[in-house]
Structure 1
Amino acid sequence: MTNRSTRRTVILATGASALLAGCSQYGDGDGSSDASASPKGSSGQQLATTGDIPVGGGTVFKDQKVVVTQPAKGDFKAFSAVCTHQGCLVDKVADGTIDCPCHGSKFSVEDGAVKAGPAPRPLPAEKITVQGNSIRLA
């Protein structure tokens, strides 16, 4: 009888594992395939128009975890919006810097370099394409 109950336990455990794996694979019916997937996986998604990004400034796209800047007229750059200090999202672009609200790190709108604060590394560059007046994730 011990052999039979062990087999039943293994079958139940295997079935439960398969069910959990299936649920995590297909999300909760909201159209997403994985709750932990990065929104940046949406290649080609339009972020903004060129007119939306101020010259000398930028815009943070929190859902995509990307910040797009325009250091000089017609020159668009994109960086990760995740601060390299402790992973907070930057929240604004002002006075030529991309600013993190958590511990005061500031990054250059030109190249993502650390300008102030405890951040140990620059913001990593992200790939975008600019076609006409459309700025899209690459």
Structure 2
Amino acid sequence: MSPQDSTEPTSGPSRRTLLVAGAGTALGVTVVAGCGGGGSGTATDTPTPSGGGSTGLAKVSDVPVGGAVSAQTADGKPVIVAQPKAGDIVAFSAICTHMGCTVAPQGDILKCPCHGSTYDLATGDNTGGPAPSPLAKIDVLVKGGEVVQA
């Protein structure tokens, strides 16, 4: 007798519910993994500093000239630290102004993986896609080779 033919009540979710939920979880993990920083060494990847935390957002030496890295504030908020020109360090919130996805460095631009919005890495201004406004600027300064919030 198959489970559909059973007259006994079933307990817990159905097999279909579990399969759908499992697929959704797998997609969520894929999306989260896709939003992370460098690691594969391709031309468009930029390193994600392991530093940050309460002492700093990133080491200046980890931020490529003409590029950017993903980082986090001490309270875990995602940020972008960029060095558009040698010695010129800027930072922005990494939260896309369109739908709140996490923006990541991609070569010489900042790009949202969700809907394709792009931002200028020197100014945070939106340069394409559906984002309605620029990324929020974060005041930073360099102390002892570390980029810290001002």
Same fold by TM-score greater than 0.5: yes
- For residue 73 of structure 1, the aligned residue among 83, 86, 94 is 86
Q: Could you state the TM-score of these two structures normalised by the residue count of structure 1?
A: 0.64
Q: CA deviation at 1:44?
A: 5.8
Q: Is the 8 A contact 2:89 2:141 kept in 1?
A: no
Alignment of 1:1-138 (within 5 A): 45-62=55-72, 63-90=76-103, 92-138=104-150
CA distance in 1, matches of 2:101, 2:111: 11
| One-letter identity of the residue aligned with 2:147 | I
Percentage of identical aligned residues:
41
Deviation readout 1:100-123 (Å, 9 max, x if unpaired): 100000100110011111000010
Q: Which 5+ residue runs of structure 1 have no aligned equivalent?
A: 1-42
Structure 1 match to 2:48: none
| 2:58/2:71 contact within 8 Å kept | no
CA distance in 2, matches of 1:118, 1:64: 23
RMSD between aligned residues: 1.9
Task: Find the aligned partners of 1:56 and 1:78 in 2 and give their Cα distance.
Answer: 13
CA contact (8 A) 1:60 1:68 kept: yes
> Which structure has greater helix proportion?
1
Q: CA deviation at 1:132?
A: 3.1
**Larger CA Rg, structure 1 vs 2:** 1
Amino acid at match of 1:74: G
Distance 2:89 2:83 in 1: 5
For residues 134 and 61 of structure 2, the distance between their equivalents in structure 1, rounded to whole angstroms, comes to: 26
Q: Is the 1:112–1:123 Cα contact (8 Å) retained in structure 2?
A: yes
Mean Cα displacement is larger for which, 102-111 or 128-137?
Answer: 128-137
Deviation at 1:95, TM superposition (A): 3.0
Q: Which has the higher contact order (CA 8 A, sep 6+)?
A: 1
- Work out whether residues 44 and 137 of structure 1, in 8 Å CA contact, stay in contact via their aligned partners in 2: no
